[in-house]
Amino acid sequence: MTGLTDLTCDDPRVTIGIATWASSSPVLRPHHAGNRIDIGKFCCFGQNVSIFAGGTHPMHHLTQHHMKLYLGVGDFDK
């Protein structure tokens, strides 16, 4: 597979499973000390990928997308 590299990270807050590849090194940003990024085995990432941890995603909702906030008709608690 030309152009793909085995994905690794020296940050202890980031774990990457075996045989995970990327066509270019993704930006992995856990931000705060308590945040983690866990990437599974046999994953593949394309070019110019950024992964952020530590957002305020509503885990109790059906979806984590903030569509109501985006549209200006809701907040995190509703």
What's the one-letter identity of residue 60? Answer: H
Asked whether the beta carbons of 57 and 64 are under 8 A apart, the reply is yes
Q: What is the pLDDT of residues 4-41, one digit of tens each?
A: 667 888 889 999 999 999 888 888 988 788 888 899 99
Q: What percent of the chain has pLDDT over 70?
A: 63
Report the distance separating Cα 58 and Cα 63, nearest Å.
8
Measured CA distances, 64 to 9, 30, 75 (Å): 26, 18, 13
Please list, residue by residue across 41-65, b when 16 or more beta carbons sit within 10 angstroms of its beta carbon and e when fewer do.
Answer: eeeebeeeeeeebeeeebeeeeeee
Query: What ranges do the domains of the chain cover?
Result: 1-78
